[in-house]
Each structure stands twice: as structure tokens, then as C-alpha cells.
């Protein structure tokens, strides 16, 4: 018992020492806490300003006190700083909330159609034939923007000139500068299913490779301490230039900030703490946009880097290979395993799938994509040597083609990906606790880590069992908002029957975008498809789906119908419908033209019949 207590105190000491050496970790934790609290609790701004002001005054007064007073009030000063940063985080969220802006369009209009158009920069519309307008050549007046645009065009043109094949060109463009217009959708899905989609998205992996290349190229400057700043300037400027050239997307800019902080710590300060560096970069990003805390790319970028920092060395030391080639492949394997420890639970929470063969794909795709990326950079440098560039282009084409074929072959295996996974945010946190404690138990052989890992896993399994029990008890009908299509799921436990357009069964994009999220959330499995059914009973509730083919015949007495789903473009008036049925609720699905939906809603209001338009109000859900 005494030994276990001593170990616990040792762990607390180690954690405290990390925090002491990385003060930005404390500030980051306080800022993130303030952001989360304001996001969900919506604190009064007067209270937040008061807390911030009081803490600021205390910190300023503390800085003018004597040494003895500072020693006595040191802990209170630390608490005041953390409270001040927490309040600052909450105020950042309040400031970034568009609803608190006087010019927010929501103060003037609640019409979703108008608001959507304004977000796209559309304020008017006009219908013109091709003879009525002329497109004039335009040119940006901003020299830097013009340089970036022309550079992207030149890179794309160069790659298309020397690399043949549509799939190969699309992947080469995405890999080098993040140009995704030519990417094959099925190929992207294959990369996603096999856990290597990060290869074709400009992210920390690419910036890391560029950073490593820049470190290597500027190595001669390392010998002179006086040239340290010049080396830092070259590396940082190149990183940011590449980031902007790659489209300047938020994920790229976040990685650029992170590697700028790392470069500053390693090159200029020389004795930086990696945890402090990561915390500083995250702190800067959250000050720019506090809502990035909920951004998937932000979470995965930092969890991947943190996971590699924490677990790479322990995993790498599992085996010791004397052969350099075997050691290289084991390093790649260790990096892949280490990165997955913290990113896998987050990926499952957001993407609802787990690639089971990620080791096989990452071991090939990561080093091969790195070689391809370096080859593309060299190709762009040597473009003027046409024979050399053509030879390099043919090699790159072969490498990309082989990598694509390998990924597609792995994706075709029936057990390549575990789909339709659904976990709550609390279950995700439990999985993170399990992953970290299990790894430290295996590495450190400490018993309390085993208890923590098994305890968190057991709690996770209990929560998951409860969610499955609830899923088996659900009974509901869902009318989806799928533009120009009818889509209805009748759910009985974990089984659903689909009623609607058979075209959706063959449209992977529409099905995955509109239907699959709900089916994953409710843990539903397919039962059957009744595309042609138009009338059915759910317990004691009668449902009728009316489209152009439905015969509307007046009957006496009128049948009582609980829900009528109006679909497609039937030629009817609501008054005629009420002559045929005794209707309690009308639902207009996404296949109905907007002008006709507006007409029917007006008639329903006049006749005092409840009407629900899924195009404006979202999916209609009825429990039965």
C-alpha cells in the first residue's frame, strides 16, 4: 500500500513538473475552460468583464508588491491569472458570436433562403441568355494575391504537363498544393476508409515534411550562432509561403502556426519544451478563433502531434533492429501506432468508422507519399530541363498509380473498415483515458494504470450497453429532407424499412450525406425496402404517402389518417384532400417544389390543419 501511494505521488510530481516546465499548458487549459463554459452556459458579459477587471487589478497590484508579499500571495496571483484567462476565453466566444453584432442579418430577417444567399454574397438575381452578357478579363490589383494565384496555376499546369492520368494528376495536385477539384471521389473514399486520407489533405504531415526538408537545407547555417535568426527566418517564411500557396485553408494555417512555434523553440530558444510550444501555438489559434476548439482538424492535428510526442519513444523501444532498413520501417510503424493512440477515439466520434488495416496502408502510403511530395517539388524546380522533368513525371505517375491501386485493393477487402460506429463525447473521453492508461500500464508495468484502464473500459462498455438497449426499444418514423427525393425510414428497434425513391439506393453521396447520419445515430440496420408502398399503419397510427400516382377518391365515411406525407408534384388542393380523408397532420417532403409547398402551407393555415415542411424545418420525426 505504501509503495502504491509513493508511486501515485511520483506520478503527480511528474505531471506537476511538466506543467511547471510548460506554463502555457496552464494558460491553455484556462482559456479552453472559459471557451467551453461560455459556449454552453452563456454567462452574462457584465459578470465576465467584472471578473476580468478584478483579476487584472490584483495581478497589477501584485507586480508592485515587495518580495515577502509576493511570496505570500503567489498562489493567489496564479489563481487570479487563470481566472482572468478563463474570463478572457469566455469573452472571446461572446465577441465571435455573430448574433451579438449590430449588423447581423438575423436582426432584420429570419428567412433561411435570404440568409443563405447573403452568406454566398448574393443579393439580387436576374435571368440572362448567353447573348445578353459578356465576360471581361479581370485581374487582381493586389500584387501578392496575383503572385499566389499565378503560382498555383503554374504548379497545376506543370504537374498536368509531366504527369499523365486523371487519377494520378488529381492526387498529385492535392498532395502538393491542396488543389482538390480534380480528385476522384471514389478514390478519396478509399483513402478515407483505409485511414490514410491525411495523405491527400494538406495538413501537419505535409508541413512536417517541408519543415524537415528546410531544416536539412539550412543545416550549414546551424554552425554559426549568429545565423540562427536568419535560419529561423528562412524556415518560417518558407513554411508560410507554402501554406498560402496550398490554399491558406484553416487546417494548413493551424499547422503553420504550430511549426512556427516549434521552429522558434528549437532554433531561436534552443531549450524549449515541446509541450509548452504546442500549448503556445494552440493558445494563439484559440485567441484568433475560439470556435476552432470544436474544429475536427484542430483536434486531430494536436492530438496526433501530442500522441507522437508522448508515445513514439516508448513504442519504438519495443524492438531494437540493427539493420537500418528494418529500423526505418519500424520507426514508421512506431509513429503510426503512436499517432493512433489519441486520434483513434476522436476519429471514431466524428467519422463513425474505424479503419482496421490502417497499419498496412500507413506503412506504405506515408513514406511513399513523402517520396512523391519531394519528387513533385524537385519536378517543379527542374521543369525547364524538359527531358529530366518528363522522366521524373513518368516515375511519379507510376508511384502514384501503384499507391492508388494498393489503397483501392485494401479498401476492397470486406474487413478493411468498421462502419456505422456511434459513441458519445463522454464515451470518447473514456476511450482516451483507456488508451493512455493502457499504454502506460504496458510500458511502465504499474498496477494502478491497469486498474484505471480496465475501469474506464468497463464504464465505457456499460454506457454502450445502455445505448444499445435504448436503440432496441425505439419506434419512430422519419421523413428526411432530401431535395427532389422522397425518403422515409420506418424504425422498429434497430431495424428500419425504407420507403421512397429507389434512386437513393444507388446514389452513395446522397445516401451517405442525407440518410446515413441518422441511421448511425439511432444504430439502425436495414430490414427491407418498400419503394412503392403508399399506405401503412404504425401501431394505431395510419400514414398515407400521396404523390402523382395516388388515386384520391372521396369515401363515406372518410378514413381517419394520422399523417399524410405529400410527395412529388400531385395535382391536388388541401380542401380536396380533406374531402377524401380525415387528416390530423400534413407533412411536405423534400421532393415537392417550393412554390407548391408554399401554396399548400397557406391552405393548411386557412383550414387550421397542422403542416410540417421538411425543407424549412428539417426532418419530421414521429414516435409510435
Q: Would you state the cell numbers that stand for residue 557, as one nine-digit string?
A: 365515411
Residue 576: HSE in the Cβ half-sphere, 13 Å Cα cutoff: 9
Q: What is the pLDDT of residue 175?
A: 85
Alpha-carbon gap, residue 445 to 443, rounded angstroms = 6
Q: What is the pLDDT of residue 53?
A: 93
Q: What is the pLDDT of residue 296?
A: 83
**Pairing outcome for strands 611-613 and 582-588:** parallel
pLDDT digit string, tens, across residues 531-590: 666 778 888 889 999 988 877 776 778 888 999 999 988 888 888 888 888 999 999 999
Whether residue 81 is predicted with pLDDT greater than 50 in this model: the reply is yes
Alpha-carbon gap, residue 279 to 262, rounded angstroms = 11
- Residues 298-315 have a mean pLDDT of 85
Whether residue 11 is predicted with pLDDT greater than 70 in this model: the reply is no
* Most confident by average pLDDT, 21-30, 122-131, 170-179, 606-615: 606-615
Sorted by where each begins, the domain ranges of the chain are 12-98, 144-293+357-418, 295-356, 425-471, 475-623
Cα–Cα nearest to 614, from 577, 563, 570, 572: 563
Residue 419, φ and ψ in degrees, nearest 5: -95, 175
3-state secondary structure of 97: coil
Q: How would you classify residue 608: left for phi > 0, otherwise alpha for psi between -120 and 50, otherwise beta?
A: left
Q: What is the pLDDT of residue 9?
A: 37
Sign, CA torsion 381/384/387/393: positive
Burial (0-12, 13-18, 19+ Cβ within 10 Å), 127: exposed
Q: What is the pLDDT of residue 13?
A: 38
Exposure string over 203-237, b if 16+ CB within 10 A, otherwise e: bbbbbbbbbebbeeebeebeeeeeeeeebbeebbe
Check residues 297 and 172 and name the one with the higher pLDDT: 172
Q: What is the pLDDT of residue 406?
A: 92
Alpha-carbon gap, residue 535 to 544, rounded angstroms = 4
- Residues 145-171 have a mean pLDDT of 87
Q: What is the pLDDT of residue 15?
A: 45
- Residues 428-451 have a mean pLDDT of 84
- pTM comes to 0.78
| Packing angle, helices 185-193 and 386-411, rounded to 10 | 60
Long-range Cβ pairs for the range 575-582 (8 Å, 24+): 575/603, 575/607, 576/552, 577/546, 577/552, 578/607, 578/609, 579/554, 580/552, 580/553, 580/554, 580/555, 581/544, 582/558
Cβ-based neighbour number of residue 488 at 10 Å: 25
Mean pLDDT for the chain overall: 83
Cβ-based neighbour number of residue 99 at 10 Å: 8
∠ CA 584-608-570 to the nearest 5 degrees?
Answer: 65
DSSP per position, 407-473 = HHHHHTSTTSEE------HHHHHHHHHHHHHHHHHHHH--HHHHHHHHHHHHHHHHHHHHHHHHHHT
3 falls in which pLDDT band (50, 70, 90)? Answer: very low
12 falls in which pLDDT band (50, 70, 90)? Answer: very low
270 falls in which pLDDT band (50, 70, 90)? Answer: low
Amino acid at each position: 500500500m505504501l509503495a502504491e501511494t509513493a508511486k501515485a505521488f511520483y506520478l503527480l510530481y511528474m505531471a506537476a513538473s511538466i506543467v511547471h516546465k510548460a506554463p502555457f499548458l496552464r494558460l491553455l487549459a484556462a482559456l479552453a475552460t472559459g471557451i467551453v463554459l461560455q459556449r454552453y452556459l452563456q454567462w452574462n458579459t457584465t459578470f465576465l468583464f467584472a471578473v476580468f477587471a478584478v483579476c487584472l487589478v490584483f495581478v497589477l497590484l501584485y507586480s508592485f508588491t515587495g518580495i515577502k508579499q509576493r511570496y505570500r500571495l503567489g498562489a493567489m496571483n496564479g489563481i487570479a491569472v487563470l481566472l482572468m484567462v478563463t474570463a478572457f476565453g469566455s469573452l472571446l466566444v461572446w465577441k465571435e458570436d455573430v448574433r451579438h453584432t449590430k449588423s447581423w442579418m438575423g436582426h432584420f430577417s429570419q428567412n433561411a433562403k435570404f440568409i443563405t444567399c447573403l452568406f454566398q454574397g448574393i443579393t439580387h438575381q436576374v435571368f440572362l441568355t448567353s447573348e445578353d452578357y459578356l465576360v471581361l478579363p479581370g485581374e487582381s490589383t493586389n500584387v501578392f494575391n496575383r503572385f499566389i494565384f499565378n503560382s498555383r496555376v503554374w504548379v497545376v499546369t506543370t504537374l498536368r504537363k509531366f504527369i499523365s492520368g486523371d487519377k494520378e494528376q488529381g492526387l498529385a495536385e492535392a498532395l502538393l498544393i491542396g488543389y482538390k477539384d480534380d480528385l476522384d471521389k471514389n478514390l478519396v473514399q478509399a483513402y478515407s476508409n483505409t485511414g490514410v486520407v491525411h495523405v491527400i489533405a494538406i495538413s501537419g504531415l505535409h508541413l512536417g515534411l517541408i519543415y524537415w526538408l528546410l531544416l536539412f537545407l539550412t543545416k550549414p547555417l546551424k554552425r554559426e550562432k549568429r545565423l540562427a535568426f536568419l535560419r529561423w527566418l528562412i524556415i518560417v517564411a518558407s513554411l508560410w509561403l507554402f501554406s498560402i500557396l496550398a490554399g491558406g485553408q484553416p487546417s494548413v494555417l493551424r499547422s503553420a502556426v504550430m511549426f512556427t512555434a516549434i521552429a522558434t523553440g528549437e532554433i531561436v530558444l534552443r531549450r524549449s519544451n515541446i509541450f509548452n510550444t504546442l500549448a503556445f501555438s494552440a493558445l494563439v489559434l484559440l485567441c484568433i478563433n475560439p470556435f476552432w476548439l470544436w474544429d475536427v482538424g484542430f483536434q486531430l492535428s494536436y492530438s496526433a502531434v501530442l500522441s507522437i510526442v508522448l508515445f513514439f519513444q516508448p513504442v519504438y523501444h519495443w524492438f531494437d533492429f540493427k539493420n537500418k532498413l528494418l529500423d526505418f520501417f519500424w520507426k514508421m510503424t512506431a509513429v503510426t501506432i503512436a499517432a493512433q493512440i489519441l486520434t483513434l477515439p476522436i476519429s471514431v466520434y466524428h467519422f463513425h468508422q474505424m479503419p482496421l488495416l490502417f497499419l498496412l496502408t500507413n506503412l506504405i502510403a506515408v513514406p511513399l507519399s513523402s517520396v512523391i511530395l519531394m519528387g513533385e517539388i524537385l519536378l517543379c524546380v527542374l521543369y525547364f530541363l524538359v527531358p529530366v522533368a518528363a522522366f521524373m513525371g513518368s516515375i511519379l505517375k507510376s508511384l502514384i498509380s501503384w499507391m492508388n491501386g494498393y489503397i483501392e485493393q485494401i479498401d476492397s477487402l470486406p474487413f478493411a473498415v468498421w462502419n456505422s460506429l456511434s459513441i458519445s463525447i463522454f464515451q470518447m473521453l473514456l476511450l482516451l483515458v483507456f488508451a493512455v492508461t493502457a499504454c502506460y500500464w504496458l510500458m511502465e508495468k504499474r498496477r494502478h494504470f491497469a486498474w484505471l484502464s480496465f475501469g474506464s473500459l468497463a464504464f465505457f462498455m456499460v454506457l454502450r450497453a445502455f445505448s444499445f438497449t435504448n436503440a432496441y426499444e425505439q419506434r419512430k418514423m422519419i421523413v428526411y429532407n432530401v431535395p427532389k427525393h422522397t425518403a422515409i425510414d420506418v424504425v422498429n428497434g434497430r431495424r428500419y424499412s425504407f420507403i421512397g425513391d429507389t434512386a437513393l439506393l444507388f446514389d452513395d453521396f446522397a445516401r451517405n450525406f442525407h440518410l446515413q447520419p441518422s441511421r448511425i445515430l439511432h444504430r439502425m440496420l436495414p430490414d427491407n425496402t418498400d419503394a412503392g408502398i403508399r399506405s401503412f399503419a404504425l401501431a394505431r397510427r395510419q400514414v398515407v404517402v400521396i404523390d402523382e400516382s395516388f388515386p384520391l377518391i372521396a369515401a363515406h365515411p372518410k378514413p381517419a389518417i394520422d399523417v399524410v406525407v405529400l410527395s412529388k408534384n400531385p395535382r391536388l388542393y388541401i380542401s380536396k384532400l380533406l374531402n377524401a380523408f380525415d387528416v390530423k397532420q400534413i407533412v411536405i417532403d423534400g421532393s415537392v417544389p417550393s412554390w407548391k409547398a408554399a401554396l399548400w402551407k397557406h391552405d393548411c393555415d386557412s383550414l387550421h390543419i397542422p403542416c410540417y415542411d421538411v425543407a424549412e424545418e428539417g426532418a419530421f420525426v414521429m414516435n409510435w
